[in-house]
Amino acid sequence: MNELTYNIERPERTLGMNPVKFILWLIIVSIIMFFAAMTSACMVKSADGNWLTFEMPAILTYSNIVVIASSVFLHLSYLNFNKDEFIKGNLFITLTFVFGIVFLVFQYLGFAELIKNKIYFAGPSSNPSGSFFYIIVVMHALHLIAGLAFLLIVFIKAIKSEIHSKSMNTIEMCCTFWHFLSLLWIYLFFFLKLSH
């Protein structure tokens, strides 16, 4: 009697999370590490004694309101897409994008005010205090531009009816990244206000 042998294929183990979401979380962790290093370096350098204190531009205070409002709009967009209310979902995602642009404009106006007050990034009359300020704010602005690109992708998918109650993955990831950037700005704002 011949013995029959069976090859039983076992299914491959998969990650417990969507691979794209996993990459997003890796990006968020790397951003946290970068800004933790920058704020730590800022604290160490400020202890040297050669640290210029200056008033933060008032427009940056208003940018807090703008970034919080943008997060609220994005959350409202998420809730509406989850209920398949596409017109409201598109409206709120558009408002999120507009407020993101307004936030960047406020950052630019803040820089213009700093330059007017002779706070420079580099050069003979610059100070490490100003340099750290510019680096931290510019790096956050670059990440926010990436967030705006993500919002644009979500908007295009929404226009094509690819975002609805049964397909929320893209907007969920966008919400995660955008809310993270909003919270990061609030942290950076208060850190810069206290250290400068």
Per-residue pLDDT of the chain (196 residues), as tens digits, is 455 555 555 556 555 678 889 999 999 999 999 999 999 988 888 787 777 777 888 899 999 999 999 999 999 999 999 999 999 999 999 999 999 999 999 999 988 888 888 877 766 667 788 888 888 989 999 999 999 999 999 999 988 989 999 989 999 999 999 999 999 999 999 998 887 6
C-alpha to C-alpha distance for 161 and 156, rounded to whole angstroms = 9
CB crowding 115-140: b at 16 or more within 10 Å, else e = eeeebeeeeeeebebbbbbbebbeeb
C-alpha to C-alpha distance for 126 and 118, rounded to whole angstroms = 8
Model confidence, pTM: 0.85
pLDDT at 23: 93
C-alpha to C-alpha distance for 85 and 72, rounded to whole angstroms = 17
Evaluate whether 149 touches 52 at the Cβ level (below 8 Å).
no
**Which domains does the chain possess?**
55-195 (1.20.120.80)
CB crowding 175-187: b at 16 or more within 10 Å, else e = bebbbbbbebbee
C-alpha to C-alpha distance for 149 and 147, rounded to whole angstroms = 5
- Per the document, the length of the chain is 196
The pLDDT mean for the chain works out to 87
pLDDT at 4: 54
> For residue range 131-161, what is the model confidence (pLDDT) as tens digits?
888 889 899 999 999 999 999 999 999 889 8
